[in-house]
Chains A and B, each alone.
Chain A
Amino acid sequence: MMKKAFVLLLLALAVLGCVQHQEEKKVEQPLKPQMTLVKKIQLENPEPNKIPDVTKERWSFGIPYTKAIVSPDGSRILVVEELKMIMFDSEGNKLWEKPTYGGIDNYIVTEDRVYMTEKYAYKKFKEHGYIICLDMNGDELWRFDMKKLLKSLMEKYMPEDAKISIDCYIKISAYKDELFADAYSTWTVNETHDRAEVLVALNKDGKLLWKVENHGYPGICGLSKMMVINGKLVMGTFSYGDKTNGPAYVHAYGIKTGKELWKFYVPHEDELAYRETTNVDAGVVADKVVAVANFGKIYVLDENGNEITNFTAFKPIKYGNYTICTNVWVNSVGFGKDCVILAPQKSNVKGVTLYYARAPVKHPDAGSIMVFDLNGNLKWKFRLGGQVTNVITAGKYLILSTEHDMDTLNFNYTGIFVFNLSAKGGAVDKYLGFYHTNGPVLWGSVGCSADGRVIAAPTWPVRAGTKVIGEHALYTLRVT
C-alpha cells in the first residue's frame, strides 16, 4: 500500500514537472527597424539640493546633470557625471571610471581619443582652463591651457574695476586630426558686457597650429556649433543688440591658416523677436552654410558666405494687445543632410517676460518640431508633447530628446524620439519610434554614434513643487 502511494505521488510530481518546464533562453530577432533598450544603468542619486524645481525660474542653472558621449562607431559610451566619468562598452559594461578633473563642460569622443574641456568659473577667476585629451583607457595623453592664451588678452582689455562673469568657457569641435577650440571670458563694466576670446587649432598631439584673438562682442563664436565645409570652419556669433554690439554674424576661418575668410551679417529683426539680443547658430547642410537666428530667420549661404536665399521659419502671433513669440537656441536647432530642423521652445509674451508669466495662448509652433528644406518649404511638422532638449542628426536618423511640457508640467512625453529622415512621406511615415524615459532628458546631454544607431540618454530627477519625478539613469538604446 505504502509503495503504491509513493509511486502515485512520484507520478503526480512528474506530471507537474512537465507542466513547469525548464526555462530556455529565447533568441529574439527584430524584423523591422525599431528602437530597443540595450541597458538601463542606474546612476548615483543626486543630492536633494541638486534636484531642481521645474516651476522655478532658471531651474536647470548650476545643476551638474550628467552628459553622455558615444564614440563614432558606437562601441564606447562615456558618461560624465559631476565628479566622475565612466566609460561603458556598447552593451553597457563598465570599462573604466575616473574623476572628472573637478568639472567638465564639453567633450568629444573620436575612435581612439576623448577630448574634454575644463568647466568655466562663474563670477570668479580661474587659473587654468584646460583641454584634456585621454586615450580610450582614460589615461591622459596631453592637456592644453586655453586660459594661458586668454590671460594676456584679459590683462590688456579688462579694466581693474570690471566684474568677471564667465571665466574661460571652452567649446571644441573635431575635424579629421584637428581639434578646434574657442575659449572666452566675459566681464561687465558699468553694465556694459565685454569679453576676450581666442580660437585655436590643435593637432591630435595638442600642438598649437594657429590662433585668433578677439576682444568684444559679437566676437568669434557665440552659442553656435562650429562646423567645417570645404576647409572652412564656420560658426555664428551673439550680440546683445545691434545698437550695443553691432549685428551678429556668421563667419568662416580657413582651417589651415586661421584666417577669417568671410563674414555675413544677420541683422536683428525686432518684429520677429521678443528681446533685442541675436544669437546665430551656424551649420552646414549639404554644400551650403545655414545661419539660424534665434527669432526664426534663416539665411542660406554658399560656402563663400554669399547669400542664396533667406526665409522666416516662424513668426510672432497677435492675441489682442499681446504679441506672442517663440525662439530657437543652440540645442533646439539641427542640421540634416538636406534640411534644417527647428524645435521652437516656450511661448514668450513680448514685454512680459517673467519666467512664470503665462502666455494667454501658446505660440502655434512652440513645442513642435519643424523641418525645412533650404528653399524655405516646411517639409513636415510634428508635435511631441514635451519640450525638445536635443536635436541630433546622425546617419539617416533624426534623434530628439524631450523634457516635460513647460506649460502643463506633463511628464508623459519625456524620452527619445527617432525619425528616419530618408523615409518618404511626412512625419507619420518618417516616425520610427518613441522610448519613454523615467524623467526628463536635459539640454545637450544626449550622445549618439555617427550612424545614429547607438543612442545614450541620461535622465535627471526633477521636482514639480514637492513631488520628485524621474531618476538619475543612463538609457542606452539601439536602432536595430
Chain B
Amino acid sequence: MKKYTLFFILLLSIFALLAIQAVNAEEFKLIEGNLPWNNEINGVKGSGYAVYELNNSPKKVEWFWRGEGDFYVYIEYSDGNRFYYVMNGSKPPKVEREIFIDENGVPRIIVPCIVKLEQGWVSLDFQSEYQRYFGSKVVSVSKLRVYFKGSGEFSNFNVEEYASAGRRKQNMSERVYIDVKIPQGNYGKPYLIKNKWLPMEVTVRTLLNESYKTEFLIGGDVEIKENETIKLDIPPGYFEKSLILTVKPKHDRGKIYVELLGLKNRSFEFITVDEGELKSKIRIYDVGVYPIKKNRIQKIAMEKNLKNYIKIREDVFSWFHRLFGSEESFDEPAGFVYCVLDNKMDCDIPLHIKFSVYSEGKEVKFFRGEHIKREEFLGHTPVPETLIVLRAKGVEELKMPVYADVYSIKPGKYDGFLKVSLLGGDTIISERFEFYVGRESQIKTLVCSIAVVLSILSLSTLGLKQKSWIREMRTNELITISLFTAVAFSIVDVPWFVFGDVVRALFGPLGPFMHLFTGIFWDIINASFLVALIWLIPRPGVVIISSVIRIALSSMVFGSFNPVSILLMLSYAALAEFFLYIFGFTSGRKMGRARTFGLIAFIFSIKHVYSTYTFYYIWMYLYRLFYPDWYINLNAVISAIYSALGAIVGVKLGERLRRVIE
C-alpha cells in the first residue's frame, strides 16, 4: 500500500513540473529572428537575434535575464499604453509617441514608458505597473514581446497569473475625426425638418505628422446655403475646426456626406420630419406655476398641491419667520413653472422652452430673475428659459424657476405663457394660463400676535382677579356657570369629538359651505349659551371662567391639550369679556331693548369673525397650511350671521331663565 502511495506522489510531482513547462512552451511564438524558444528552460540561451510574442494576457510574470546585448520586454495594454522593460546594460530602444483620436473625438497621445531593470530575476505585476505609471483603471495586457539580441540568457519565463479583464483593444489608427450635429444631443437618429433651413455643425479634428492641404467637401441629400467646399491648410500636430452651415433636406430620408479630401470621408444618415407630425406627436401636460417649500434640510422643493399660486418673497415681516428659524433669501425662486413633456416620435427632439409672464399685454421681465445679481461664485443667471433634448418615445418633467420679490412684483393676477419651439424653428406648442401672485398677508402675523397677547391677558386677568370674582359671586352663580359650561360642552364639544370625522366626511364635499351645518353648533349654540349666562350673571369674569372650565373639561374628558385651541379659547374669552364690559353688559349699564339686541349681536359677530380668522391663520402659520382668502371670508360671513342670531337667541333664553329664577 505504501509503495503505491509513494509512487502516486512521485507521479503527481512529475506531472506538475511537466504541466508548467508545457503551458509556457505553447504561449510564445517566434516573430522575428532564428533562435527558437527553448521549452526546457522556458526561454532562450546563446547568441543571436529573436523576437517572441506571448499568445496570452498575463497579469503577473517573472523571468531571469543576463548577458550582453540589447534585451528588453515590450508590454502593450489594451488602452494603448506601452511599456519597455530594458535590461541593464542594453541600449534603450528608439520609441515614438503614438497619436490618435479616440471614439469620442478626443486626441490621445501615448508616450511609452521606458524603465531599466537589473540583470537577474525579474518579477512584475502588470496591473500594479499600469497603476504606477498610467492610472487607476483596470486594464489588461494585450501584447507582450521579448526582444533578444546579443549573447546571454532569457529564461524561466513564468506566467504566475492571467488577466481576468477582457482584451478589447483601443483603435489607435484614427488620425482624423469628423462629426456632424444637427443639433447637439441628437445623436440617436439625426433629423431635419421638411422645408426648413436648420443650422448644422460640422467638426473636424486631426492629429497629423505633417501639414496637409486639403478641401472639406460637404454634400448629400441636403441643400446647403453656404459654400459646400472649404479649403483647409491643416498644420502638423493637433488641429480642430468647426463650421456651422445651414441645411435643408431634399428627401424624406438621406445621407450627409462629409469628406476631407485625401484623408477621410464619412456619411451621416438623417430622417426628415414633418413639422405638422412633430406638433401632433409632442404633447405637454400639467403646465402651471407652483410655489416652493423648504424641507428640513432647507432644500427647495416644489409644492405641487398649490397650482398657479405663488407668494411674493420677503415681506416686511420676514424677520418674524427668521425668528422661528426659517432663513429667507430674496434670490431664491418664489416658485417653479412646471410641465411634463411627452415625445411620441422615434427620434430625440431638442427643444427650446421659454416661460414669460404678461400683465395687461406687456411682459413682466422681473419674473425671469435677470435683475437678481448673484454672488461671484454662483455663475449662472437663472431665467425660466432652457434648451433640452426630449428623448425618443420619452416623457420628461421640466421645472424652471420663477422669481417674485417684494421690490419688483405686485400681487395680483398674471398671464403665464409657456412656449415650446424647435431650435431655430417655429413654436410647436404654447400654453397660456392665469396664475396668481399673493403677498404673504401681514394680517395673518398681526392676528397671531393679537391672539398670543389676548391669551396672555386673559390668563393674567384670571390670575389677578379670580379671588375677587369668586368672592363676589354667590354659590348658585358659580353653579350656574359650571352648569351652562357643562351643557354647552356636552351639546357642542362632545358631539363634535364623537361625530366630527363623520360630519367632515359627509359635509366635506360642501367645502366652505360645510360651516352652514357646523356653524349651528359652533356659532349659534355657543353664542346663545354664553349670552344667556351673561344675562343670568352680568358680572365681569364670567366668560373667562366659563372658558377656563371648558378647557379643563376638554382636557379631562378627551385628554386634549391642544395649544392652538387653548390659545384661541383664551383670546376669544378676553375679547368677549372686554367688549361686554365696555358696552355695559357686565358693568351694570342700562340700555334700551333695540340697542341691547344690536350691540350684543355686534359683539358676538366681531368675536366670531375674529375667531374664524384667528383659527385659520394660526393653523396656517403654525402648520404651514394654506386656505384661500375667499374660503376664510365665506366662513367668517357665516360665523358672523350665525353668532349674531345665536346672541339674540341667547338674550331671549337668558330673559326667560331669569324670569324662572325670579
Given the interface contacts A37-B131, A191-B330, A353-B380, does A27 sit within 8 Å of B199 by beta carbon?
Answer: no
A186 touches B123 (CB 8 A): no
**Residue B427, interface by CB 8 Å:** no
**Residue A436, interface by CB 8 Å:** yes
Give the contact stretch, choosing among B179-187, B529-537, B611-619, B645-653: B179-187
A428 touches B10 (CB 8 A): no
**Residue A435, interface by CB 8 Å:** yes
Binary A-proximity of B109-145 (CB < 8 A = 1, otherwise 0)? 1010111111011111000000111111100000000
Bound CA–CA A1/B387 (angstroms): 89
A358 touches B376 (CB 8 A): no
**Residue B362, interface by CB 8 Å:** no
How many Å from the CB of A301 to the closest CB on chain B?
23
**Residue B221, interface by CB 8 Å:** no
B327: which A residues are within 8 A, CB to CB? 123
**Residue B371, interface by CB 8 Å:** yes
B111: which A residues are within 8 A, CB to CB? 34, 431-433
**Residue A193, interface by CB 8 Å:** yes
Partner of A16, one of B17, B109, B156: B17
Give the contact stretch, choosing among B238-246, B440-448, B490-498, B563-571: B238-246
Given the interface contacts A32-B114, A415-B135, A435-B134, does A361 sit within 8 Å of B183 by beta carbon?
Answer: yes
Bound CA–CA A429/B114 (angstroms): 17
B381 touches A353 (CB 8 A): yes
A412: which B residues are within 8 A, CB to CB? 104
A21 touches B64 (CB 8 A): yes
Q: How many contacts between A and B, using CB within 8 angstroms?
A: 228
**Residue A465, interface by CB 8 Å:** no
B405 touches A279 (CB 8 A): no
**Residue A8, interface by CB 8 Å:** yes
How many Å from the CB of A20 to the closest CB on chain B?
8
Residues of A within 8 A of B (CB-CB), count: 96
Bound CA–CA A356/B387 (angstroms): 8
**Residue A68, interface by CB 8 Å:** no
B662: which A residues are within 8 A, CB to CB? none
**Residue A44, interface by CB 8 Å:** no
**Which of A2, A319, A362 has the largest number of chain B CB atoms within 10 A?**
A319
Bound CA–CA A23/B122 (angstroms): 8
Given the interface contacts A191-B405, A191-B407, A383-B205, does A19 sit within 8 Å of B17 by beta carbon?
Answer: yes
**Residue A413, interface by CB 8 Å:** yes
Give the contact stretch, choosing among B1-9, B50-58, B543-551, B554-562: B1-9
**Residue A26, interface by CB 8 Å:** yes
B350: which A residues are within 8 A, CB to CB? 358, 360
Interface residues on B, range: 35 or more
B16: which A residues are within 8 A, CB to CB? 16
* CB under 8 Å from chain A, chain B span 354-398: 371-373, 375-383, 385-389
B10 touches A5 (CB 8 A): yes
A23 touches B330 (CB 8 A): no
How many Å from the CB of A166 to the closest CB on chain B?
7
Partner of B375, one of A12, A186, A351: A186
**Residue B158, interface by CB 8 Å:** yes
**Residue B424, interface by CB 8 Å:** yes
A427: which B residues are within 8 A, CB to CB? 237-238
Binary B-proximity of A239-255 (CB < 8 A = 1, otherwise 0)? 01100100000000000
B121 touches A354 (CB 8 A): no
**Residue B400, interface by CB 8 Å:** yes
Residue of B nearest to A425 (CB): B237
**Residue A100, interface by CB 8 Å:** no
Partner of B135, one of A279, A355, A436: A436
**Residue B14, interface by CB 8 Å:** yes
Other 9 A-B pairs with CB < 8 A, given A322-B423, A358-B388: A2-B6, A26-B118, A34-B133, A58-B378, A166-B375, A353-B381, A354-B382, A415-B135, A431-B111
Interface, chain A (partner B; CB < 8 A)? 1-2, 5-6, 8-9, 12-13, 15-16, 19, 21-24, 26-32, 34-37, 40, 57-58, 61, 123, 163, 165-166, 186, 188, 190-193, 222-223, 238, 240-241, 244, 275, 277, 279, 317-322, 348-349, 351-362, 364, 368, 380-385, 407-408, 410, 412-413, 415, 425-429, 431-438
24 contacts between A and B (CB under 8 A): A2-B6, A12-B17, A16-B13, A23-B62, A24-B120, A24-B121, A26-B118, A26-B124, A37-B132, A61-B377, A188-B330, A191-B371, A354-B386, A358-B184, A358-B185, A360-B183, A360-B387, A361-B184, A361-B201, A361-B242, A381-B238, A407-B184, A426-B236, A428-B238
